[in-house]
Amino acid sequence: MLYAMIAKDAPGALQTRLDTRPVHLDHLNSLGKKLVFAGALLDAEDKPEGSIVVFEAENLAEAQAMADADPFVAAGVFSSYEVKRWRVAINTTGVEF
């Protein structure tokens, strides 16, 4: 099953995001095939203002644990984040989920 973490950055968190990014990427890479995709949400000036991360997990608790373990959470980059079950409606990538 797929789960999406939708996160919104805290005001003024850009420098913390940049400083924490290497360990954040290490965390995401450590998830292996459980990580489907991840990326920053960008504002009008193409600066990060949040994130979307899609996990493959057995259940919501597993997906929530992966999200909670993200170093961006501990560093206070996000003002809020939630994990929701996600279903692919259209997929033009050729990758099966």
Cβ count near 63 (within 10 Å): 25
pTM, whole model, 2 decimals? 0.90
pLDDT above 70 as % of the chain: 100
Q: What is the mean pLDDT of the chain?
A: 95
pLDDT tens for 38-62 read 999 999 999 999 999 999 999 999 9
pLDDT tens for 59-85 read 999 999 999 999 999 999 999 999 999
- Where exactly are the structural domains of the chain? 2-86
- What's the mean pLDDT in 27-32? 96
Taking the CA atoms of residue 63, residue 67, residue 69 and residue 70 in that order, the dihedral angle to the nearest 10 degrees is 140
More confident residue, 47 or 95: 47
What CATH number should be reported for the domain whose range is 2-86? 3.30.70.1060
